[in-house]
Structure 1
Amino acid sequence: MDKVIKLERHDMIAVLTVNSPPVNALSAAVRGGILECIKDAIVDPAIKAIVLTCAGRTFIAGADITEFGKPSKPPALNDVLSEIENSPMPIIAAIHGTALGGGLELALACHFRVATKEAKLGLPEVKLGLLPGAGGTQRLPRAVGPELAVKMIVGGDPIPAAEALKNGLIEEIIEGPAAGGEAFARKVLAEKRPLRRLRDDESKIAAAKADRSIFTNAVAAMTKKSRGLEAPFAAADAVGYAIDLPFDEGLKKEREGFLKLLTSDQSKAQRYAFFAERKAHKIAGVPEGTKSRPVERVAILGAGTMGGGIAMSFANAGIPVTLIEPGEEQLKRGMGIMQKNWEATAARGGIPADAPAKRMALINGVVGIENVGNADLVIEAVFETMAVKKGVFGKLDQFAKPGAVLASNTSYLNIDEIAKSTNRPHDVLGMHFFSPANIMKLCEIVRGPRTAPDALITAVATSRQIAKVPVVVGLCDGFVANRMYDQSGKQAGKLLFEGALPQQVDAVLTKFGMPMGPFVMSDLAGNDIGWLSRKDRGIKSEIADALCEAGRFGQKTGKGWYRYEAGSRTPIPDPAVETLIEQTLARLGRKRRAVSDEEILERMMYPIINEGARILEQGIAARPGDIDVVWLYGFGWPIYRGGPMYYADQIGLDGVLTKMRELQVTMGDEFKPAALLETLVAEGRKFADFSQPA
């Protein structure tokens, strides 16, 4: 136990320190050490109070989730919490860093809690498809009231120490965890404060017992965006037990709910996604110890939809931005849109009222590429054509300072070809943001064959600094995200040729769990972007091209695959689009037929999976999980389905292969199964079993 738990006696105060880096997770060794040390302290006649704290950068940041699904090792966390709660002497949790999940549940079992001012406290289990399983749903409502408890448990986001103090979750804000915790313990003893066991205190849930709408209204507000998810509703039910049942009965029901979710398909998928995101941070081919270049200021070329969204992402993180356009009119329009977006968010209560002004102050809008000179990172977000992008990068040699990382936001184009326009191709890479860039979390980091390792590390680190999820990918047309998405886009377009309508295809995808279908997404991004890209690459898509030729570019023009009322983003099916489709098909001599929802789903999903297999074959993605992270954060793939490669494993690769072979016979070689898919099925393996050759 000495390796993970240290017990020191400071006359009448026992200080128990957990030292299990990096996050002091509640492993069996940590649970056992805490239990043993508390028992030792309790029987020591010289000890009058116990302070529980942690070494390193954080308090206990949760359970050891690597133990999930494995035979449990004693002691159970609830046994440890019971020992703490029933202690005859005060036990104080002294928190710094984060107290999350089981860490906060342990703190809630203590009689008092104090925290440093930067600390955050939360119960994020819902994000793993779970609910707190060690009394969190029963003790937290008694500590802070059911409304905040619902927000923290059903929403899963932590609260800062100041809010925790305001709502009674902690007693004091302290300077340092060990010294501050010990000082508070001495105060408790000097003032002879009675022990507060949350299980016995119903003062903060009394109002909800009398008027249950306090609870139900809070639940309605927090679950309105939880379509398709099981855990938020189960977590809300568990908080309700704290109001409706005696503590021990509520604790039993909470545990039953936790165990049910633990074995559910949704939680397994969400836990898979959790680990996949972390594995995506491991980058092959980068020498150990490679350091990021410093990034103190960023220049963004282009103040349009993408450039403006990228600028907002950096300003949101407090990083100064030089936003550059070739003309005053485009610059003024872009700056105005950012201001309007932030003001709308502030009006909804999403950011403080003074945030728009503070963030706009971080953005220096200027005319002329010569203004990139003081930037450590330059991101190009101009039109998606090779000629335009090469022209921009050719000029960057003249104006960008030595050592600046030069990134293109291209979604398809060859980064190496762009890099040839400069005399510093080692500084060039792709940073492909997703629209709207200030909201979507994915950033595809595209590594060119000559990209320097420290430039790559800089792009990854900077992406994380602005709250993006970076995934490093290799070089090919469309990289990972759009190369795969193009398969669904092709099928969506072909389904129109068969007789489906945009609203039917979109409805099948949203029923599956996607936040929007391909046609709504195209309207959001701008149909003209794909149109220009197709022209640049010599590709035709008759119906989509006819749509753009009619000026239907999407939401920004009020009409695309759907029509949009002024100021609204709600898509409304438009008979004019059906007429356009029918006229195009008639011109091409094609007839419409009835297309089933099942056919739509298979044709939209299986080619994506098949293309993912090809991407793995070619080493464009390092892991199947990297592909899944791209889809989770780039396209809003439902997290409870894990990602397309995980989903394929769950439905069975043999079934995917069989259907692809059938489609190849009836529809052509575009459905030819990938060699890797054939191999995995022949060997009885899954994508989860795949790893790139060393």
Structure 2
Amino acid sequence: MSNPAVHYDVIDGIAVIAIDNPPVNALGHAVRHGLIAALDRAEADSAVKAIVLGCKGRTFSAGADITEFGKPPRDPGLHEVIERFDNSTKPIVAALFGTTLGGGLELSLGCHFRVATADAKMGLPEVKLGLLPGAGGTQRLPRLIGPEKAVAAIVSGKMIGAKAAHADGLIDAIVADPIPGAIDFAKTMLADGRKLVRVRDRSEKITAAKADPSSFDKAASEATKRLAGVEAPAACVQSVRNAFTLPFEDGLAAERGMFMKLVMGDQSRAQRHVFFAEREAQKIPGMLPEVKAAKISRAVVIGGGTMGGGIAMNFANAGIPVTIIETDEQALTRGLDRVRQTYDVSVKRGALPEGATETRMALFSGTTDWARIAEADIVIEAVFEDMDLKKRIFAKLDAHARQGALLATNTSTLDVDAIAQSTKRPADVLGMHFFSPANVMKLLEIVRGKATSHQAIATAIGIGKTMGKVPVVVGNCDGFVGNRMLARRTTECERLMLEGALPQQIDAVVTRFGFPMGPFAMGDLAGLDVGWRIRKHRGVTAPISDALCEQGRFGQKTGRGYYIYENGSRTPAPDPEVETLIVETAARLGIMRRQIDDDEILERMTYPMINEAARILEEGIAIRPSDIDVVWVYGYGWPVWRGGPCFHADLVGLSKIAERLDHYAKATGDAGLAPSALLRQLAGESKGFADFGKAAKVAAE
């Protein structure tokens, strides 16, 4: 019986097996079944002397079929398929192109040879899902490129280009066209009588590590130095070590055992949750399939400051010409110079190739002439966070922008509807909240106003993806999703200091939880004056933080903030003067300080934010709980292996969180800490945010 997912042909005595499972040739059950059948056919045909494994479409296999995640396994599994290829008596050449990832690369490692096009990329990114390569990748890759390079590639999950792959021994040749090139390679190999050696039987690249593992130990330490507490990277290291300390079959069995343990664990569940949540976030209830993103050929950014320049860089990085508009030539020159310097630093560090600065800068132009707005398909305002200023700018945009252009504000807190009312086209207006540094951070909060059209939302999502961002559509309120929740944590930071904790203790708890930085070190990095200005605008106070700002202690840029930074150092050091200020302020306010344990600190750093997430869902500001998780993972450093605030809350249990919030509301006298209606309801029904999300999805459908 024919299998549409796998094609079979014979060309000049070479059997060509081609996977055809668009869009990424995932290795689903039909593909796996078809591969076994095709291999049986090739091996049974005496006229077939060699086999080529290739793919139709735009890429070699990108790995497992994600639609099978969480479902009962169906035979044959990928292990069985690879073992069959591995044991073939006829040489098999894999023809790689596009992106060969995960199980796709592992399948190719079960072949005797690999060729690839010059632009092909390959990798084992399973660690990004909290897993290790579970189909022999940790055992075969070290035998081809050496355990040191293998552990770096597997722990990082980064892709390897064809040139490097050829130099390291991962592929045997670079070809112009994958399947024809593989056929030619097979013919040459047959003509030369090249010896057939399975990858599993190769030992030359692991011999040195067997004798002296110190180089491997150093490479493993370097690969995992910022990953303490994360299970998958540690398992990857151990499994690669097994490649040179255990016989192949034992290493393979150990790899499978570690894979199964990881796949059942909370960390991998969290990372898989984020993987699917990121994709789900782009689905907007009620948006018809025919609504497509408008083409963006030219962009304008209003404001060439740090944020405006960073936003503009995103367009240039995507190959889209961008114009920066400033109030005067001096500000314009300063802004463009800052962009150039940022590119130069990236080139110097090797993050961009030589010549990239000039290539990217060629896409920039700058002007003080607002008439240039008429050229743009999208205009993003990125000026100081002042409502009157933004309203004046949007009135100008309305006068100059062409009809149908997308008009976006980069506000992080202000009312998008109020800004939109300064125009006669509120349907074309929305928020595009970039995170600093805008050219680096992946999150893009897209803020929909009451009148924002689906067309505008689709276009914002589309350009966000083009920029390499992770777009999440949220509703319009003070602080939207991320900053609204962050405000709750900030309040607790101030309280904890007054009640007895110190900045370094709080930061240590938060970083042990998995954040890259604690709230006080982050505040110093961003600049304490930013929050101070916002508090003044809102008419609220924070006794300790305000006092620091009044002393000119704005963080790293002044050498002093919550911490002290000696001699230009970026490493925070506790400052006795800050501790004195905290103690004196608490005494002045009549607060008796006490010892606060780390468990209480962690609860107060997370539970109030989770409570605010529930309010955000009640109000419809976020479409689904998983959207909130995506915002916090990609915008605020929530550890991906903890899945985001809502996922983490379900692991802890909402009943426990509600109980603790009631305790803290009573202890502090802050009624805002009491569990929200939704949180209390879900806790009372022994449900979680996941249950809420499922119910909301059913209702939307």
TM class, shorter-length: over 0.9
The CA deviation at 1:478 is 0.8
The CA deviation at 1:589 is 4.2
Partners of 2:4 and 2:600 in 1: how far apart? 58
Matched residue pairs, number?
694
Is the contact made by 2:498 and 2:583 (CA closer than 8 Å) also made in structure 1? no
In structure 1, the partner of 2:375 is: 374
Is the contact made by 1:524 and 1:555 (CA closer than 8 Å) also made in structure 2? yes
Amino acid aligned to 1:671: L
The CA deviation at 1:586 is 4.5
In structure 1, the partner of 2:165 is: 164
Is the contact made by 1:430 and 1:445 (CA closer than 8 Å) also made in structure 2? yes
Residues 476-495 of structure 1: per-residue CA shift (max 9 Å, x gap): 11111111111111111222
Partners of 2:252 and 2:341 in 1: how far apart? 47
Q: TM-score, normalised by structure 2?
A: 0.94
* Matching of residue 690 in structure 1 with residue 692 in structure 2: yes
Residues 258-296 of structure 1: per-residue CA shift (max 9 Å, x gap): 222222221111111111111112122322121211112
In structure 2, the partner of 1:37 is: 38
Amino acid aligned to 1:486: A
Residues 287-318 of structure 1: per-residue CA shift (max 9 Å, x gap): 21212111122222223232232233333333
User: What are the residue-to-residue correspondences of 1:248-327 with 2, within 5 Å?
Assistant: 248-327=249-328
The CA deviation at 1:369 is 4.1
Could you list the runs of 5+ residues in structure 2 that have no partner in the other structure?
Answer: none
Amino acid aligned to 2:636: F
Amino acid aligned to 2:520: F
Is the contact made by 1:384 and 1:529 (CA closer than 8 Å) also made in structure 2? no
In structure 1, the partner of 2:581 is: 580
In structure 2, the partner of 1:231 is: 232
Is the contact made by 2:498 and 2:585 (CA closer than 8 Å) also made in structure 1? no
Partners of 1:148 and 1:586 in 2: how far apart? 57
User: What are the residue-to-residue correspondences of 1:173-252 with 2, within 5 Å?
Assistant: 173-252=174-253
The CA deviation at 1:583 is 4.3
Residues 311-351 of structure 1: per-residue CA shift (max 9 Å, x gap): 33333333333223323443344334433333333333333
Is the contact made by 1:291 and 1:454 (CA closer than 8 Å) also made in structure 2? yes
Residues 75-114 of structure 1: per-residue CA shift (max 9 Å, x gap): 2322211211121111111122221111100001111112
In structure 2, the partner of 1:594 is: 595
Is the contact made by 1:442 and 1:471 (CA closer than 8 Å) also made in structure 2? yes
Residues 431-489 of structure 1: per-residue CA shift (max 9 Å, x gap): 11112222211110111111122221111111111111111111111111111111111
For structure 1, which segment, 534-543 or 636-645, has the greater mean C-alpha deviation from structure 2 after superposition? 534-543
Instruction: Name the CA shift for 1:663/1:588 in 2 (closer, same or farther; >3 Å).
Output: closer
Partners of 1:569 and 1:394 in 2: how far apart? 42
Partners of 1:504 and 1:320 in 2: how far apart? 47
The CA deviation at 1:11 is 4.7
Residues 213-244 of structure 1: per-residue CA shift (max 9 Å, x gap): 33222222211222321111211121122222
Amino acid aligned to 2:631: V
Is the contact made by 1:326 and 1:369 (CA closer than 8 Å) also made in structure 2? no
In structure 2, the partner of 1:677 is: 679
Amino acid aligned to 2:174: I
* Matching of residue 338 in structure 1 with residue 339 in structure 2: yes
The CA deviation at 1:366 is 3.5
Is the contact made by 1:324 and 1:366 (CA closer than 8 Å) also made in structure 2? yes
Task: Report the secondary structure of 2:566's partner residue.
Answer: coil
Amino acid aligned to 1:676: L
Amino acid aligned to 1:514: F
Partners of 2:63 and 2:390 in 1: how far apart? 46
The CA deviation at 1:521 is 1.7
Partners of 1:103 and 1:505 in 2: how far apart? 44
Residues 135-186 of structure 1: per-residue CA shift (max 9 Å, x gap): 1111112222223212211110111223222322222333333333333333
The CA deviation at 1:498 is 1.9
In structure 2, the partner of 1:154 is: 155
Amino acid aligned to 1:16: I
In structure 2, the partner of 1:81 is: 82
For structure 1, which segment, 301-310 or 323-332, has the greater mean C-alpha deviation from structure 2 after superposition? 323-332
Q: TM-score, normalised by structure 1?
A: 0.95
Partners of 1:87 and 1:130 in 2: how far apart? 29
Is the contact made by 2:96 and 2:115 (CA closer than 8 Å) also made in structure 1? yes
Partners of 1:643 and 1:334 in 2: how far apart? 35
Task: Report the secondary structure of 1:690's partner residue.
Answer: helix
For structure 1, which segment, 180-189 or 33-42, has the greater mean C-alpha deviation from structure 2 after superposition? 180-189
Instruction: Name the CA shift for 1:255/1:366 in 2 (closer, same or farther; >3 Å).
Output: same
For structure 1, which segment, 458-467 or 665-674, has the greater mean C-alpha deviation from structure 2 after superposition? 665-674
Amino acid aligned to 1:208: A
Instruction: Name the CA shift for 1:221/1:345 in 2 (closer, same or farther; >3 Å).
Output: farther
The CA deviation at 1:636 is 0.8
Amino acid aligned to 1:673: P
For structure 1, which segment, 386-395 or 370-379, has the greater mean C-alpha deviation from structure 2 after superposition? 370-379
In structure 1, the partner of 2:480 is: 479
Partners of 1:526 and 1:657 in 2: how far apart? 34
Task: Report the secondary structure of 2:7's partner residue.
Answer: strand
User: What are the residue-to-residue correspondences of 1:409-558 with 2, within 5 Å?
Assistant: 409-558=410-559
Residues 355-401 of structure 1: per-residue CA shift (max 9 Å, x gap): 33433343334445444342322211111121121122122123333
Task: Report the secondary structure of 1:7's partner residue.
Answer: strand
Residues 578-599 of structure 1: per-residue CA shift (max 9 Å, x gap): 3333444444444433322222
Is the contact made by 1:385 and 1:533 (CA closer than 8 Å) also made in structure 2? no
Residues 471-526 of structure 1: per-residue CA shift (max 9 Å, x gap): 11111111111111111111112222323222222121111111112222222222
Percent of counterpart pairs with the same letter? 55
Amino acid aligned to 1:265: D
Partners of 1:370 and 1:595 in 2: how far apart? 59
Partners of 2:343 and 2:233 in 1: how far apart? 29
Aligned Cα root-mean-square deviation (Å): 2.1
Instruction: Name the CA shift for 1:492/1:158 in 2 (closer, same or farther; >3 Å).
Output: same
In structure 1, the partner of 2:130 is: 129
Partners of 1:567 and 1:469 in 2: how far apart? 34
Partners of 2:499 and 2:386 in 1: how far apart? 31
Partners of 1:535 and 1:112 in 2: how far apart? 66
Partners of 2:9 and 2:163 in 1: how far apart? 29
The CA deviation at 1:638 is 0.9
Task: Report the secondary structure of 1:684's partner residue.
Answer: coil
Partners of 1:274 and 1:46 in 2: how far apart? 46
For structure 1, which segment, 639-648 or 13-22, has the greater mean C-alpha deviation from structure 2 after superposition? 13-22
Could you list the runs of 5+ residues in structure 1 that have no partner in the other structure?
Answer: none
Partners of 2:362 and 2:587 in 1: how far apart? 55
The CA deviation at 1:194 is 2.6
Instruction: Name the CA shift for 1:227/1:296 in 2 (closer, same or farther; >3 Å).
Output: farther
Partners of 1:395 and 1:361 in 2: how far apart? 27
Amino acid aligned to 1:453: H
